[in-house]
């Protein structure tokens, strides 16, 4: 009877340990998903800013080209 109780205690400990590990992994997975989402948002924001800056730069270049073509004439 004592051996059976020991075995049950060992199994119970291993089950608790496995459940605890599973819970930690689930929390870590959730945190990583949130981090990936934040990174995606940051990339989208940076790409938008890059596109806006490119458009502004293109307009400045166009104005400079117009100015230069008029001053050559």
Q: Does the structure show a pLDDT above 80 at 1?
A: no
DSSP letter for each residue of 7-60: HHHHHHHHHHHHHHHHHHHHHHHHHHHHHHHHHHHHHHHHHHHHHHHHHHHHHH
pLDDT of residue 10: 94
CA distance 4 to 47: 64
pLDDT of residue 73: 65
pLDDT of residue 25: 98
Average pLDDT over residues 46-64: 98
**Each residue of 4-52: pLDDT tens digit?**
889 999 999 999 999 999 999 999 999 999 999 999 999 999 999 999 9
Average pLDDT over residues 43-68: 97
């Amino acid at each position: 009877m004592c051996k059976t109780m020991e075995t049950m205690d060992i199994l119970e400990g291993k089950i608790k340990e496995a459940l605890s590990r599973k819970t930690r992994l689930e929390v870590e997975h959730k945190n990583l998903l949130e981090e990936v989402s934040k990174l995606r948002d940051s990339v989208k924001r940076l790409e938008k800013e890059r596109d806006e800056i490119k458009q502004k730069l293109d307009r400045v270049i166009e104005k400079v080209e117009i100015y230069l073509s008029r001053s050559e004439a």
